[in-house]
Chain A
Amino acid sequence: MPTIFIRAVLLYFILMLSMRGMGKRQLGQFQPYEFVMAMLIANLIATPMSNVSTPLLHGVLPVAALYIVHALITLLCLRSDRLRAFISGKPSLIISKGVVRQEELKRLCLTLSDLLEGLRGAGYLDPAEVGTAVMEANGVITAFPRSDRRPVSVGEMSMDAGYEGMPMTLIMDGRLQQHNLQCARLDKTWLESKLAGRSLCVEDVFLCSIDTQGRMTIQDRGGNLSQFQALDAKEVGW
């Protein structure tokens, strides 16, 4: 049993170092140590699951070993930036001031096609629109527009857009979301009165939500959508 435990720990580190060595391209959206965990656990569980001659503990114990190592790495990464940089890697600046950094692309083994694909994924068809692009430690490319290409913000136009927060879902598939209703400091009677104004009851509503501007959106079971001002923006209390 201790042999199995330690072997699982050794394999974890070997796989993790391999993933780090392979670079960010292989990762997709996981951190290297998360990716290793996902890969190993599936295999560890499969053997005792399919082979009744193998004790269940032969699958459980290695998973426990991985859990411990994973938790320790997570905790240590919270404490040490250097360890986090070593284990997860650092973000890499691949476009700076609108110019593609060729040396960085070479270092990351990233082709121009990969970069263009990543930029399209980030919503940029034309690389000339991108001012800054970063390849994050998890392999995802994030891009930001050049300052002369980005939309004008509400703040720059000196307008007051009010508070924009999380909309509250009040009815889902004909079921009242009591918790959200409480969070929004509203009650069932108030909601039913608003629905009655549109000849609806709770059971008739497929989806109903209210945003932080006080606008309520209702979709009934027939697919009809209606939006109206249900609360004054000042009355919104969440």
Chain B
Amino acid sequence: MRATIISTLVVAAFSAGICAFSLSLIDHVSSEIDVMRAEVVALADDGRVEEARLRLKQTAEMWLRHERQLAVLVSHETLHEITGLIVEGDANLTAGDLDDFTRSMALLGEAIGRLGRDERLTLSNLL
């Protein structure tokens, strides 16, 4: 019985650790990326396209760094969607197509929000 209690406590501690790490990492990454996305959009809206491109490049680099960690925790489809939207936004900005760029950034905002929302411990997620 003692072995069962100990192994249960170990598994519970492991699970709690994974849950806490996952929540904290996803929350941290999604809020950080979203702030950078908002900055890119603001720069583009001000007509500072080159600065917006530079910031988007930094956003992409930051995202790729975290993507490897997130791949252990989150479904890969969501991660690929976010990567695709960053690449799409960059291509639109380079082509000077601001309407499509705005659309890509809006979709990126939604995808990042969903990443955090899907992991949050809410009744709607549970049910």
Contact = CB atoms under 8 A, between A and B. Distances in A.
A75 B71 contact: no
B71 A1 contact: no
B121 A68 contact: no
Interface size class for chain A? 20 to 34
A71 B73 contact: no
Interface string A54-86: 111110010011011001101100100000000
A68 B22 CA distance: 20
Contact of B12 (A3, A10, A68, A78): A68
B8 A72 contact: yes
A53 interface: yes
A7 interface: yes
A2 interface: yes
Contact of B14 (A53, A64, A71, A72): A64
B40 to A, nearest CB: 28
B95 interface: no
B58 interface: no
B72 A55 contact: yes
Contact of B11 (A53, A57, A64, A74): A64
A78 B65 CA distance: 49
Interface string B19-47: 10011000000000000000000000000
B76 to A, nearest CB: 4
A137 B97 CA distance: 70
Interface string A27-64: 00000000000000000000000001111111001001
Interface string B35-65: 0000000000000000000000000000000
Contact of A54 (B15, B22, B75, B118): B75
Give chain A's interface secondary structure class.
helix
A5 interface: yes
Contacts of A196: none
A2 to B, nearest CB: 4
Contacts of A58: 75
Given A53-B75, A53-B76, A1 B23 contact: yes
A61 B73 CA distance: 10
Contacts of B77: 53
Contacts of B67: none
Contacts of A2: 19, 22-23, 119, 121
Residue among A58, A64, A65, A72 with the highest chain B CB neighbour number at 10 A: A64
Contacts of B74: 55
A68 to B, nearest CB: 5
Contacts of B7: 71
Most buried by A among B11, B15, B77: B15
6 contacts: A2-B119, A2-B121, A53-B77, A54-B75, A55-B71, A75-B5
Interface of A: 1-3, 5-7, 10, 52-58, 61, 64-65, 67-68, 71-72, 74-75, 78
